[in-house]
Structure 1
Amino acid sequence: MSLRLRAPIVLPCDAECSVLRDAVVDIGADGRILHCGPAADAPAFDGPVRELTGVLLPGLINTHAHSPMTVLRGMGDNLPLIRWLTEVIWPAEGKLTGEDVYAGMVLGSVEMLRAGVTTSAEMYFFGEDVARAVIDTGARGVIASAVLDGLGMDWRRMLADIDAWIDADGLRFGPGERVELSYGPHSAYTLPPEALTKVAEAARQRDALIQIHVAESLPEDQAQRAEHGSVPALLAKSAFFGGRVLTAHSVHLSDADIALYATHQVGVAHCPGSNTKLASGIARLTDLRKARVPVGLGTDGPASNDDLDLWEDMRLAAQLARVSTMDSTALGAADALLLATRGGADALHRDDIGVLEAGRWADVVHMGVDDPAFAAGLDVPDSHLIANLVWAAGSRTVTDVWVAGEQVVADREPTRVDRAEAQAMAGKVTTRLLA
């Protein structure tokens, strides 16, 4: 049914990061936003009104995750990326079943929703089980079934399976279009150039997003860099660009690489938490933004971060941008908030999420203010308010979450699934893998 949410503060996350005081968000019966603005100027509304006490903002967008890896959390700690993958993670993943992946995704989805993350871009195996988990928890997912070569995998068959799935079910489906299907070629170092070209052709034919790891760490793609100069250069030669492309990490980029991204409007999923934990490096965030490359934030997997709290990555992105440039103004609190909302939508090439405005999906988060971060209340300057929200409050103040107008978190607990059962289900998988 339709619903009006009224709160002392609404942050629509428009380009100016406006702060609306005593404002409303009107939600239609179809789960989309009808209106967002000051209560004094709001149109007449016949539906129920929910009076809230804190801050409303769009659901955060996690632009790169492998959330089923909640069942692998803590494994291979203190290893660099390539050893972590080859010695620990890939062997463990080889033992996972579809039900294991479902259990891991349910827990990951619950964890994100409780942190105000309503959309996550997922790259993993057993895509149908990932989609089932997303729908069951009420979240929103952009799901890329992985495509790899070797390790007993056939990239041609994996590509054909994605083609068939999209052709059968459509690009988006589920209540409130909860699921978007996409392509997940793992990387240029796990696939031949022919595969990259074929994946890009298939995705462009269907207007589908491609998710791919690019230049995450220096050791991973030495052969590709030696032959082509860089991974972005290889992707350009392989006719990979031109459609909807999202590159995860993109840490080690040259000026020419950034120019390529800008020319083709390639999205970047910036994952500062994972990049620092695995000592992969610090991405050139300020240069990417200066070049007007679409950038969002990602957690990466919960075995490499090791949580799915995008508020932490929001703060870390700003801190690393400042310390890497020795400029305390390089990325402000408002900039960081926009990276996690409208920036994530831009990186995913989506215009229906990430902002509270008419026509977009009503993915809304309510942040409570009974917290030390808001000791001075809400009657402070706008910049002060946003600074407290980003730097001091974060996920612990999330109280309620709606996705497509449906409340999926109430008083900090999921409404669709039982959190204790989700934790127990995933815990059994981890226990088996460790035995």
Structure 2
Amino acid sequence: MKDGEMNFDTLAIHAAEQHDQNQALNNPIYMTSTFTFTDLQQADDTFSFKRKAYVYTRGGNPTINLFEQRIAALEGGVDGVAFASGMAAITSVIMSFVKSGDEVIAHRNLYGSAFGALKHLMPDYGVKTKFVNMTNLEELKDAIGEKTKVLYLETPTNPSMEIIDLEAVAKIAAEDSIKVVVDNTFATPYLQRPLELGVDVVVHSATKYISGHGDAVGGVAVSKNQDYIYKLKFGYMCELGGVMSPFNAWLLLRGLKTLSLRMERHSSNAMKIANFLAENPLVERVMYPGMETHPGHEIAKRQMKDFGGIVSFELKGDLETAKAFVENLKLLKLAVSLGDAETLVEIPALMTHRDYLEEELKKFGFLKKTIRISAGLEHPDDIIADIKQSLERVR
């Protein structure tokens, strides 16, 4: 049975299988830096790509390549490039499309380090970024200029949970041959497949839902263009050196096997948390695309299979109220990151999104007191009971 004939759940376990001579059920971890040759002719054939083989793990490794090909199959891409972290993937992909004097247009609300790289790092190399509200397509069109080479966005966004119409953005970009790069970390390919909506490259912090166990750091980029994948791998990942460990690739392959089951539970728990919060008189605003009151609900219904595991909200009161809430929680863990089996909570403006200036937060779609919950896999009644007892203490 070919990969293209299998359903998502099966692809997550079997796509791009490598047949090892020892017939191991789980693919071996090739923990080696270097691969050997029988003679110089074999070495020459390998370096000139006449022979498909491995030289050095920075440029290729069987365990890493299996992860790249499997995630590509799930995203509907031709191949992928694995990186040491999600940020290595994001910065390498953006750098692969721009040079000094070019411009990136990014959505106003991004993961804090992605915002920091575009706001502070890239200008040092002559690449400027405009931050716009991509939920407003007219604002996006007005922002595009002759120097614009890349549109970069997340959807749902972190942490304000805004929804961006991927198909519409891709059509706008195509008119001017602009590349669209989408961070699909929150949704995963199980819930959303941006490449099928016209996006050029999808990136992930594989540390999050793809791993699912909070024990591996990694990133990956996927495209439908094989020539671009070669360019990204050998021209950027190898040269900049952000290579993934084979052991982490093996852990991520393990995570992929249960991705669909976990995303269903994460999404179900998040919906129950959002509904509970929406009914509580101490809660001022709930940001979750699964709610019909969410401004991006209809777009999310169209381009997502479900609404994901992240809920952001604000309590009535100020930052001190938000601090009291998170510090009174017992089951929920105060931590950065997301997508783990454990339910995690944070105040983004104090933690993952510290690069945003306090006076500009509202412009970027969230507030200093915004709280973000990553719904874990625990029983929803226990998660909600902990939220409830903390809200009662705040009251």
TM-score by length of 1: 0.28
Comparing both chains, which one has the higher relative contact order based on Cα–Cα distances under 8 Å and sequence gaps of 6 or more? Answer: 1
Higher strand share: 1
